Amino acid sequence: MKTNLIDSSRIEAMMAQLKAAATRPQQGVGAARPETTEVKKAGFGDALKASLDQVSRAQQQSEDQGKAFITGDDKVSLSDVMISMQKANIGLQTTVQVRNKLVAAYHDIMNMQV
């Protein structure tokens, strides 16, 4: 049985090509031109709002599934309800931890001497 193995010189050549491609500026069909394309910068506030909206949607979906299961909807299983509740709980816990880290960072910055 013969196996086709790549020798180390070919691997090194491929690595050199990848490194060269990574250091080159992007050009070609998909390259963005600064003078013609306006790039919107996503701010921290936008990212935080999107994250909070996602957590809110997960909690609402969990609540809706729980209500549907309680009313006897055959399309909703107990495992789906429990999974969505756990996802919502984890999202909420993560949000609380991020908030705590932000508050701690704010206090650290405010206590710095200038």
Number of neighbouring beta carbons within 10 Å of residue 44: 8
Q: How confident is the model at residue 18 (pLDDT cuts 50, 70, 90)?
A: low
Q: How confident is the model at residue 86 (pLDDT cuts 50, 70, 90)?
A: very high
* Amino acid of residue 25: P
Question: Which of 86, 91, 57 lies closest to 78 in space, CA to CA?
Answer: 86
Q: How far is CA 101 from CA 9, 77, 93, 97, in A?
A: 48, 37, 12, 6
Token digits of residue 40: 């919107």
Token digits of residue 41: 């910068």
Task: Say which residues have a Cβ less than 8 Å from residue 92's Cβ, sequence separation at least 6.
Answer: 55, 59
Average pLDDT over residues 83-109: 93
Report DSSP letters for 67-97, one per residue: HHHHTT-TT--HHHHHHHHHHHHHHHHHHHH
Mean pLDDT (the chain) is 81
**Residue showing tokens 């490194």:** 19
